[in-house]
Amino acid sequence: MRKRRWGWALAALTMAGWSLAACGSSSGSGQSITLYNGQHEQTTDSLVASFEKATGITVNVRNDDEDILADEIVTEGSNSPADVIYTENSPALEYLQSKGLLARVDPSTLAHTPSRYNSPPGDWIGVSARVSVLIYNPSLIAKSQLPTTVLQLADPRYKGKLAFAAGETDFQPIVTSVAHTYGKAAALNWLDGIRANAGGHIYPDNETIADEVNRGAVAFGVVNQYYWYRMRAELGASNVDAEIAYFAPHDPGYVLDVSGAAVLKSSKHQAAAQKFLAFIVSEKGQEIIVHSISFEYPVASGVATTQPETPFDQLQPNSITIPELGDGSTAIALLKQAGLL
């Protein structure tokens, strides 16, 4: 009979859980917006906390990969619960723009950012930037032995030494850039070459590359610069043996990616959503990004990065523009053709 009572206790507990949850789910008064966040959670979290404090507007954050979020928005259509989307790279925003799902950003907000980092029609705004670099383990490869151009990544002498993340959204702009400069056929050849060089070192994301290079599982890999800084912050500088190296100035592999945000046309809280955009490119918002664990370059409001990062104006990226980077579909098609996706 003891067991029977136990079963009843369980049922009672479950019931209690239901009723408690029902009480908890009723939200408080005041305005609120929903943010689909593809940026790193810690950074967004600091931005949101500060925004809520300053405006009294509550922000509900939904975290996931930017592609998933962008496509959820497409699927949801005019019923989308999202008011704002914030991504790590421009292609997801360009994709939503091409579907006509984004609202125009307030001109006064757009004025905070150099226009080359915004969507040309003004449907989304650039918030921060990052560049692609090589991360390498000095005990496995000397800096002088590293490739200096993106095409050299496919050189057979790097067989077994290279790592990259074919499925990572940060990698697509590099593929787009190579195809833009050398043509699709050459890009496909190049992809075949780097696939052969990477062998088993094709990882799911940049974090894994940074980690595996640091631990000596592979000699070097292609990542965005801030992963290395983040890793040093997370693990402590003494635990990080890996170093970073830049591609030759203006090389097609040296790509500057813009992280941006947009308000959805379907949003029923346009004013509050626009306020959020204005906030993240304001001086206060950009300062938060500088001091967050993201280590991305703020692009608006004249805020500069602090040490140890290479100053933004000393970077020498390739001249490919945001419309040329597009929505990433060319890169995805090439990656599929090469059997990498």
Partner 1 sequence: MTTIQELARVVEVPTKAAPARRRARPWPLLVGSGVVAAVLLAPLVFLLIEANGAGASTIAHLIWRSLTRSLLWNTVRLTVVVTFLCAVIGTLTAWCVERTNLPGRHVWAVLVVVPFAIPDFVVSFGWASLSTWVQGFRGAVLVMTLAVYPLVYLPVAASLRSADPGQEEVARSLGLGPLRTFLRVTLGQARGAILGGCVLVALVLLAEYGAFEILGYQTFTTEIFTEFQVSFNVPTASALSLVLVLLGIVVLGIDAAARGKGRVARTGPQVQRVTQRQHLGRAKLPVLIGFAALVGLALGVPIASSVYWMFEGGARALSGVSILDAGWHTAFYSGAAAAIAALLALPVALLAVRHGGHGGRLLERSTFLVLAMPGLVIALALSYFSNHYANDFGYQSAPLLILAYAILFFPLALVGVRASVAYAPVNLEEVARSLGQGRLAVVRRVTLPLVGPGIAASFCLVFLAAVTELTATLILVPTGVQTLATQFWAYQQNLSYGQAAPFALVIIAIAAVPSFVLSRYFDRLPTRATRLP
Residues of this chain that bind partner 1 (CB under 8 A)? 1, 3-4, 6-7, 10-11, 13-14, 17-18, 20-21, 25, 34, 40-42, 45-46, 48-49, 60-65, 67-68, 70-71, 74-76, 79, 81, 167, 169, 172, 200-205, 207-208, 210-212, 215-217, 230-231, 233-236, 293, 332, 335, 339-341
Q: Which is nearer to partner 1, 190 or 228 (CB)?
A: 228
Residue 249: CB minimum distance to partner 1, A: 29
Are 289 and 298 in contact, with CB atoms under 8 Å apart? yes
Q: Which is nearer to partner 1, 127 or 338 (CB)?
A: 338
Q: Which is nearer to partner 1, 7 or 302 (CB)?
A: 7
Instruction: Determine which helix (DSSP H) or strand (DSSP E) holds 261, and give its type and residue range.
Output: strand 256-263
The stretches of the chain forming alpha helices (DSSP H) are 2-24, 41-55, 66-76, 90-98, 107-110, 172-182, 184-198, 206-214, 225-235, 270-280, 283-291, 322-325, 329-337
Q: Which two tokens stand for residue 304?
A: 């500069």
> Rounded to whole angstroms, how far apart are CA atoms 113 and 127?
8
Pick the closest to residue 266 from 100, 124, 80, 84 (CA basis): 80
Q: Which is nearer to partner 1, 223 or 315 (CB)?
A: 223
Q: Are strands 84-86 and 256-263 parallel, antiparallel or unpaired?
A: antiparallel
Residue 161: CB minimum distance to partner 1, A: 15
Residue 63: CB minimum distance to partner 1, A: 6
Q: Which is nearer to partner 1, 70 or 131 (CB)?
A: 70
> Rounded to whole angstroms, how far apart are CA atoms 299 and 333?
30
Residue 110: CB minimum distance to partner 1, A: 27
Residue 10: CB minimum distance to partner 1, A: 6
